[in-house]
Copies of this chain bind each other. A is one copy, B any other.
Amino acid sequence: MMFLAALAAGAIAAPAADNQYGVAPAAGPVERWGTLELSFTGPATGNPFTDVELSAVFRQDGRELLVPGFYDGDGVYKIRFMPDTVGAWRYATRSNAPALHGKRGEFTAVQPAPGNHGPVTVRNTFHFGYADGTPFWQVGTTSYAWTHQSPALQEQTLKTLAGAPFNKIRMAIFPNNDDQVAGQHFPFAGKPPHGWDFGRFDPVFFRNLDQRVAQLRALGIEADLILFHPYDKGRWGFDRMPAAVDDRYLRYVVARLSAYRNVWWSMANEYDFLTEKKTDDWDRYFRIVQAADPYNHLRSIHNAFRFYDHNKPWVTHVSIQHGAATEDPERAVLLRDVYNKPVVFDEVKYEGNWTKRWGQLTPEEMVLRFWNGAVAGTYVGHSEIYTDTSGKGEIWLGKGGVLRGQSAPRLAFFRKILAASPAEGLEPIDKWQDYPFAGKHGEYYLGYFNHAQPTSWPFALFKTGLKDGMRFRVEVIDTWNMTVTPVAGVFEIKKRDDYTFADRDGRSVALPGRPYMALRIVRVPEESDK
Contact = CB atoms under 8 A, between A and B. Distances in A.
Nearest to A337: B307
Interface stretch (A73-81, A322-330, A383-391): A322-330
Contacts of A433: 323-324, 357
Interface in A327-382: 327-328, 330-331, 334-335, 337-338, 340, 355-357
Contacts of A325: 330, 334
Nearest to A435: B324
Contact of A324 (B311, B335, B432): B432
Nearest to A309: B311
A338 B340 contact: no
A3 interface: no
Contacts of A324: 330, 431-434
A306 interface: yes
6 contacts: A306-B337, A306-B340, A307-B337, A309-B311, A338-B338, A355-B498
Contact of A498 (B327, B357, B431, B432): B357
A434 B327 contact: yes
A499 interface: yes
Contacts of A338: 307, 335, 338
Interface string A295-326: 00000000001110101000000000011110
A432 B349 CA distance: 10
A433 B337 CA distance: 22
Nearest to A321: B432
A323 B432 contact: yes
A356 B325 CA distance: 29
Interface of A: 305-307, 309, 311, 322-325, 327-328, 330-331, 334-335, 337-338, 340, 355-357, 431-434, 498-499
A331 to B, nearest CB: 5
A180 to B, nearest CB: 27
Given A309-B311, A338-B338, A357-B498, 8 more contacts: A306-B340, A307-B337, A322-B432, A324-B432, A324-B433, A328-B330, A331-B331, A334-B335
Nearest to A330: B324
Contacts of A340: 306
A369 to B, nearest CB: 12
A328 B305 CA distance: 19
Contacts of A356: 498
Contacts of A328: 328, 330-331
A378 to B, nearest CB: 12
Nearest to A499: B357
A340 B357 CA distance: 25
A333 to B, nearest CB: 9
Contacts of A337: 305-307, 322
A325 B498 CA distance: 23
A431 B327 CA distance: 13
Contacts of A323: 431-433
Contacts of A330: 324-325, 327-328, 331
A347 to B, nearest CB: 11
A330 B499 CA distance: 27
A327 B499 CA distance: 20
A499 B340 CA distance: 35
Contacts of A434: 324, 327
A317 to B, nearest CB: 15
Nearest to A312: B311
A42 B325 CA distance: 61
A312 B309 CA distance: 10
A335 B331 CA distance: 10
Contact of A334 (B334, B357, B499): B334
A355 B355 CA distance: 52
A517 B197 CA distance: 62
A431 B304 CA distance: 12
Contacts of A309: 311
A433 B338 CA distance: 22
Contacts of A305: 337
Contacts of A431: 323-324
A250 to B, nearest CB: 24
A337 B305 CA distance: 8
Quick one: which of A322, A331, A338, A357 has the most chain B CB within 10 A? A338
A396 to B, nearest CB: 22
Interface-central residue, A334, A355, A356, by most chain B CB under 10 Å: A334
User: Which of A307, A355, A432: most chain B Cβ within 10 A?
Assistant: A432
A35 to B, nearest CB: 37
Contacts of A335: 334, 338
